[in-house]
Structure 1
Amino acid sequence: MRAILITEFGGPEVLRLVDLPDPEPGPGEMLVEVSAAGVNYADTHLVENSYLSAATLPMIPGAEVVGRTPDGRRVVALVDNGGYAEKTAVREEQAHEIPEGVSDGQALALVVQGVTAWHLLRTSARLVEGESVVVHAAAGGTGSLAVQLAKSLGAGRVIATASSKEKRDLALELGADVAVEADAEGMKERLVEANGGRKVDVVLEMTGGPVFDASLAALAPFGRLVTYGMASRVPPQPVEAAKLMGRSQAVVGFWLMHCLSRPGMYREPLAELLAMTADGRLKPQVGGVHPLSGAASAHEDLRARRTFGKLLLDPSR
């Protein structure tokens, strides 16, 4: 089979297309013929070994796939690694059948980014109806879904940030009440202004560095900042417990991997999101499809912030 293999850590240049033997499913696993693989920003960290968990070489990257099982079922699945390939072995408990009316790209947008957006708002932020929500990178895979979910959960005001007018316009189309420039300079002031002069209740933050710092400064008493990434690769300033106490604020971390070992925290939200997509209540955004041989260019586009929505790889090309 054709697959992307990395034998050394680094940037997009280490992603190489090779021919490998088909994988052999182990106990509790099944073989899936991959029709599309999802690309996540976390993949760019994984290939340079800067992610939350250490990687080992050699490795086929890719954490999510859509495809067919040997008995013909169409499934979307989360995998440990191995998604950037024509075939992969999938643990049966992490495969979910796709309902009619949901495309491959839509399903892939939900399996990591959709479930993440669901937990950011419900589990980590514990959003209360009427509260204001800031969604950074609001045109991205997770952000574009978080904007829609925040509105469906009764957020009082959804404030989107994005790096271009086109991305801000998309966030507004998806339901954001206002969209502002994503640059860290002046971020606190823009967020407060966008919320009618009041500090904000919830921030979903995945950039790190000065954007994290400005977002925390814009947080109201009893506000929650949920951090789930560090796309800038720059750490924020240390968070002081005394300052959090003095402002009655919370900083909450989220990593989807912790949901997989807890019954109901992965399959049930995914089933809900798939149903919402099937009946049109949720509109996952598919931002582009690269050939498998173009995995490096997909990573380059992600790192350069040239993408929106969900990015896919097509193993047939």
Structure 2
Amino acid sequence: MRAIRCVEWGGPERLRLEDIPEPVPGPGEVRLRVHAAGVNFPDYLIIQRKYQVRPELPFTPGAEVSGTVLETGPGVTRLRRGERVAAFVSLGGFAEEVIAREAACFPLPDHVDDAVGAAFLLTYGTTWHALADRAALRRGERLLVLGAAGGVGLAACDIGRHLGAEVIAAASSAEKLALCREYGASETIDYTAEDLRAGIARASAGAGPDVIYDPVGGDFAEPAFRAIAWRGRYLVIGFAAGKIPALPLNLPLLKGASLVGVFWGDHMRREPALYAEETASLLAAIAAGQLKPLVSHRYRLEEAATALTDMAARTVRGKIVIVP
């Protein structure tokens, strides 16, 4: 079968398309024919050895897929051959076939597209866990989303609207902010054209956001936190800007505010029952049309390096997928 291989640490241009043996499922595992694989920022980091997970070389990147069960390993009882699923696989997704744990597979409703099935687990899963669980976002609260037109940012606009929040989207262009309005933002801030703190004050009528969703980090973190409302919750999602900010600890003291870490991967491993419940809620909302993950572009397997480069350059809207 064909697979994208990381044989040396470095940028996407070092990835190779190779023929490798078909994988064999072990106990509790299934072999999937990959219909689509989601492209995520950790995929870009992991091939450069900059992610918290550092696999041995060589390996195939790609953490989330949709596909059809081709073969079941010993002890698999819930899934059957021919069943369509969405699966979180951590590694191996950028290939024609992949191994997944049965516990990490979720049956896809017939009318949920393969591309959507490959594009919601990480971004929407992270965001549901962040907003509903870690922040306990309540109806009527103000939610500020930084990097709002990216994969997790757009998911935050969508889920925030679904949970009844007033969504303020911050992004780097009018075009991106127009998309955020389609996904639930009632106020927007173009932080290339307006000072971020001034924009937050304007968009929140001076009150500040109750919850800040930050997948970007970098230089916007401190001014955003300085604008947070009393008892606000600042969700640390990631550092797409590349710089991990250092906040003065007097800021949460003065606002009675909380810094809240969101590590979806460990949440999935440590709290599997809650993770399964959250994912079931997400799939039900997607199937009902209440949430609408955006897949803006599909790439061929041999275009994986281009897909990762485009995603890292933050030129894509929502999610992109690789279709073997």
TM over 0.5: yes
> Counterpart in 2 of 1:233?
242
- 1:123 Cα deviation after fit: 1.3
Cα-to-partner distance string for 1:262-292 (whole Å, 9 max, x where unaligned): 1323222111111111111111101110111
**Deviation for aligned residue 1:162:** 1.7
**Counterpart residue identity of residue 64, structure 1:** E
Is 1:22 aligned to residue 32 of structure 2? no
1:260 is aligned to 2:264:
no
Map of 1:62-211 to 2, 5 A cutoff? Answer: 62-70=62-70, 71-155=81-165, 157-183=166-192, 186-211=195-220
Structure-2 separation of matches of 1:237 and 1:184: 25
Q: Which amino acid aligns with 1:106?
A: V
Aligned amino acid, residue 12 of structure 1 = P
- Give every structure 1 segment of 4 or more consecutive aligned residues whose post-TM-superposition deviation is greater than 3 Å: 182-185
Q: Deviations over 1:178-215 (max 9, x none)?
A: 12114497212211211112221110001111111121
Q: When the two structures are aligned, how many residues end up with a matched partner?
A: 313
Query: Is this contact kept in 2: 1:105–1:310, CA < 8 A?
Result: no
Q: CA deviation at 1:100?
A: 2.0
CA–CA distance in structure 2, aligned partners of residues 90 and 46 of structure 1: 19
Shift of 1:89: 0.6
Residue 243 (str. 1) matches residue 251 (str. 2): yes
Aligned-residue offset at 1:32: 0.3
Contact (CA 8 Å) 1:161, 1:182: kept in 2 or not?
A: yes
Q: Does the residue aligned with 2:116 lie in a helix, a strand or coil?
A: helix
Question: So what's the TM-score if we normalise by structure 1?
Answer: 0.95
Q: 1: CA distance between counterparts of 2:192 and 2:243?
A: 14
Structure 2 gap ranges (5+): 71-80
Task: Look up the match of 2:77.
Answer: none
Aligned residue type for 2:33: E
Q: TM-score, normalised by structure 2?
A: 0.93
How far is the alpha carbon of 1:80 from its aligned partner? 2.3
Post-superposition offset of 1:54: 2.8
Instruction: In structure 1, give the amino acid aligned to 2:254.
Output: G
CA distance in 2, matches of 1:301, 1:144: 17
Give the AA of the match of 1:47.
I
| 2:8 aligned residue | 8
User: Which residue type is aligned with residue 101 of structure 1?
Assistant: H
State the percentage of identical aligned residues: 39
Q: Aligned in 2, Cα 1:154/1:39: closer, same or farther, shift over 3 Å?
A: same
Amino acid at match of 1:150: G
> What code does the residue aligned with 2:27 have?
P
1:106 is paired with a residue of what secondary structure?
helix
Give a deviation string over 1:143-193, Cα, whole Å, max 9, x none: 2221121122121x2100122222110110111101211449721221121
The answer on whether the counterparts of 1:11 and 1:48 sit within 8 Å (CA) in structure 2 is yes
User: Are the equivalent residues in 2 in contact too, given 1:136–1:182 (CA < 8 A)?
Assistant: no
Structure 1 contact 108–310 (Cα < 8 Å) conserved: no
Deviates more, 1:195-204 or 1:182-191: 182-191
Q: Which moved more, 1:185-194 or 1:68-77?
A: 185-194
Question: Secondary structure of 1:312's partner?
Answer: strand
Counterpart amino acid of residue 119 in structure 2? A
Q: Is the 8 A contact 1:192 1:200 kept in 2?
A: no
* SS of alignment partner, residue 167 of structure 2: strand
